[in-house]
Chains A and B, each alone.
Chain A
Amino acid sequence: MLVFYPADWSPVCGDQIGVYNEMKAEFDEYRAQLLGISVDGAWCHRAFGEARHIHFPLLADFEPKGDVSRRYGAYREKDGFSERALVVIDAEGVVQWSYLSPVGVNPGADGIVAALDALTPEQRGERAAASQGVTGHE
């Protein structure tokens, strides 16, 4: 799951990133990994992650700036930062769901959870996991 967002250090304590940060147990049930992406640099991400106790990796789309965001159609050229966009990628690396949030609206996790529910066992990578003797999602 990719979460594109404009910037670290948003002024509110309980925003979208804070909500996703509380959801590790939920996402673990789907064997899904969350990655945050913004144009902030690695040191900025580190400080932000430590201050807010963020439990998922924050990736720096810093050099070339916005390159990854642009490839996902999630970059605001005029502003120089990422949109608020969500992408769910399956075990085969195929985008199964994506959502571009309207400007000024923080997307919750309802769409992500619905998209995870809709994945087939193959898309969740459970067949591959089973053949390796790993217990899959219930």
Chain B
Amino acid sequence: MSNGILTPPVGPEDHVQGSDHAPVTLVEYGDFECPHCGRAHAVVQQLQRELGDALRFVFRNFPLREAHPHAEHAAEAAESVASRGGDNAFWEMHDLMFENQEALDDEDLAAYAEASGVNPAPVREDLAAGAMAGRVHRDFRSGVRSGVNGTPTFFVNGQRYDGNWADAARFAADLLALARTTAAR
């Protein structure tokens, strides 16, 4: 079976932080309302500090709509912001939502969109029309095909990371070791 292989690989549709030439690519499938993803946000920031240029980070949407009533709109709002303000605005929005997980209703999302530098009116319209639902669902389906087994699920250079992501020191050590062996090749 295809056991935890990132499908499809990172491509031009993805939201990316870091260099395409980085030896380590970390992909997160996450849900903006999931408290574990909120904790993972701090872990990812620590990894980015420790690995620096050696790490490329990608976020894909995996909203668990049954568990988290605001997760779908939060994901759609992030995509709406990205489509209007580009990846910089997307990452602003991404950070604001993870830092304010207790306040993710549509009004909150519009305020975060504005704080990310995007006019909130069309973002509201996108949410009302479900304009970004297809984009979010494409991420979700790719997560299913890749073997996402909960949120967050991480993939390191295309392979699901089955270690304990919450152990940030260990996670960083694993990635640093991989960066060294990959760069040496």
Contact = CB atoms under 8 A, between A and B. Distances in A.
B149 A16 contact: yes
A130 to B, nearest CB: 27
Interface of A: 12-16, 18-19, 21-23, 26, 52-55, 99, 105-111, 113-115
A28 B64 CA distance: 18
A109 B147 CA distance: 6
Given A106-B150, A111-B1, 12 more contacts: A13-B67, A14-B36, A18-B66, A21-B64, A23-B144, A108-B160, A109-B148, A110-B5, A110-B146, A111-B2, A114-B2, A115-B1
Interface string B1-35: 11111010000000000000000000000010011
Contacts of A105: 149, 162
B148 A53 contact: no
A13 to B, nearest CB: 5
Contacts, number: 83
A19 B149 contact: yes
Interface of B: 1-5, 7, 31, 34-36, 64-68, 140-141, 144-153, 160, 162
B117 to A, nearest CB: 30
A134 to B, nearest CB: 26
B141 A52 contact: no
A30 to B, nearest CB: 12
